[in-house]
Chains A and B, each alone.
Chain A
């Protein structure tokens, strides 16, 4: 919708830069600083209602709004892809209210907002990765009460988490968590990395970039500053393992990226493609090919204005 078009009866609205007022941004930044000072600790903050529903990324949006400036370059992904509908919607929002350049190139971005994945390309110092978090409390599935879980973190009493892992092994012969796999941060705080696949967990350890986690509905911010120890929970005799596939990416041939399963037809045919759409596109641009390189997914229809 262009600027020239307006609906009747709509008054002129003036929004502050990046939508939030400066006091709110200041409040959020204070929470961010506290979170960075105590890696893995969930800092409460006065989350505001945003034009996007709770549960759809308001935490990540508020974090971005608090730190973004006109010189930033903004990337937004959902499930690893830049062009899934919610990522498109949020990127458009910031392009408009923050008047900021946007990109799908991981290396070019200064702020990357993500839902449920960490990009394949390693991040560099000076970049900020903003995670959208539905449930910040790693113990919530085991203990419903906030008053109880808060005490567990304060006293470093994580017995409930340990018995849960033990039960997994005794029941399934392995730790069952596949996404949102719990981690210990600096060997002090138990943290949920948000519902990223466990495949992405190792990327958080000793990362050069700043990792910020925002839960708007639950009103918590937590953070991992650069070069922080992040260890996925496991047992010595049942060590942490990432997912692997028998297949490579059908489009670019990548052997070491997270693959999405794409259903091709009703007859059970399927293909596997990189979840990180930019990573895949870049590899194809560099000449890598996979077994289904000619597929329509590799050549999306050009979109207006893109």
Chain B
């Protein structure tokens, strides 16, 4: 095998890009997928890219999914990098999920609650049988689902209101009027406030949070969570322009919200109450919102006086490793050349081996 130069330079990169574009396109005889098709028919992929990309724009996310060839962490990276270039002209008012136009709302805590259990568009009770009818193109669109007899209650009361008159569920109070911590502007800092933590979790990799939440349920730092409420729907986004001095609605976003309930032992000063873990994600992202809520509650162990001995309860461990853009970049950076450092290690190992064998066979009497 003759020596092959590793120096590819510009030409190699250009050719690589071209080949990549070819592979992304796939068989040219097959129709190109349109961004609109991805937006409409792969909407859950789009939702995840918006959530972890931290940018609510369905077309942008759909384009990213197309450009990434379906690799969602890659698509998320594209959206994040794009986000860096966007100017910021302010912050919205906090969205009011109590005023959500609810499409789906369930609670495992009660058999029935004011507003009812609304199943909505869910995978939950489907049978996971591959439907080969979907493989045939050009089928007629499905019949619209039938309407309910009565319109839905609005606003739909949230689980908090059920507990309110007995004060059984803790209230989340903002500790100050300062602007919330913004991870996209400042680096993470420990100990992390809840604002920083929730933001990191909202942007965090769904798979990582899912595994952590799962580990918690299996006893590694369990919070014994109960699903208080999940709701999915649209909320208005409001903004107060300086010139006007009052809020205007600038659009609406689809959100999935989850509140997990856990018990609390109480203390000498404080009567026992249920505590809450909170999850919120762009789009229809139940697995993400639920995992986020479980992990949020587990990370509050310090506040509620619990011992910390499982990974899910370890703030630095969870928050430092939850961002898949950072994780993917660093893991994959191992592909970059490391031969200079490796050369140094090679030298050392060779020298140590030489010394090792010389120690075992001291054959040379004369000084070197």
Which residues in A have some Cβ–Cβ distance to B below 8 Å?
Answer: 1, 9, 13, 15-16, 19-21, 24, 44-51, 53-56, 58, 78-81, 83-86, 88-89, 92, 115-117, 134, 144-147, 172-173, 176, 178-180, 195-199, 217, 219-220, 243, 258-266, 275, 296-297, 300, 303-306
B contacts with A, residue count (CB < 8 A)? 53
Which residues on the B side are within 8 Å of A46 (C-beta)? 184-187
Pair count A-B, CB < 8 A: 153
Give Cα distance in the complex from A172 to B351, angstroms. Answer: 11
Give Cα distance in the complex from A208 to B222, angstroms. Answer: 57
Which residues on the A side are within 8 Å of B330 (C-beta)? 54-55, 134, 217
| A300 and B339 contact, CB distance less than 8 A | no
Which residues on the A side are within 8 Å of B164 (C-beta)? none
Give Cα distance in the complex from A220 to B186, angstroms. Answer: 11
| B5 and A297 contact, CB distance less than 8 A | yes
Candidates B1, B3, B80, B337; contact of A49 at CB < 8 Å:
B80
A and B contact pairs by CB, cutoff 8 A, 18 listed: A19-B85, A20-B84, A24-B84, A44-B187, A49-B83, A53-B77, A78-B337, A85-B13, A88-B10, A145-B316, A173-B355, A178-B345, A178-B348, A180-B341, A198-B344, A219-B187, A258-B340, A260-B340
User: Which of B155-163, B188-196, B254-262 has 4 or more CB atoms under 8 Å from chain A?
Assistant: B188-196
Known: A50-B81, A55-B332. A262 touches B343 (CB 8 A): no
Which residues on the A side are within 8 Å of B331 (C-beta)? 55
Q: 20 more A-B contacts (CB under 8 A) besides A47-B187, A86-B336?
A: A19-B85, A45-B187, A46-B186, A48-B184, A53-B328, A53-B332, A79-B337, A84-B6, A85-B13, A88-B9, A88-B13, A146-B316, A146-B320, A178-B344, A179-B344, A196-B340, A219-B188, A261-B346, A264-B2, A306-B9
Instruction: Tell me the smallest distance from the CB of A165 to a CB of chain B, in Å.
Output: 15
Interface of A is mostly: loop
Candidates A45, A49, A303; contact of B9 at CB < 8 Å:
A303
| A260 and B329 contact, CB distance less than 8 A | no
Give Cα distance in the complex from A15 to B187, angstroms. Answer: 24
Known: A85-B13, A88-B13. A197 touches B344 (CB 8 A): yes
| A44 and B189 contact, CB distance less than 8 A | yes
| A197 and B332 contact, CB distance less than 8 A | no
Which residues in B have some Cβ–Cβ distance to A below 8 Å?
Answer: 1-3, 5-14, 35, 77, 80-81, 83-85, 87, 184-191, 316, 320, 325-326, 328-333, 336-341, 343-348, 352, 355
Candidates A13, A51, A197, A300; contact of B343 at CB < 8 Å:
A197
Give Cα distance in the complex from A136 to B11, angstroms. Answer: 33
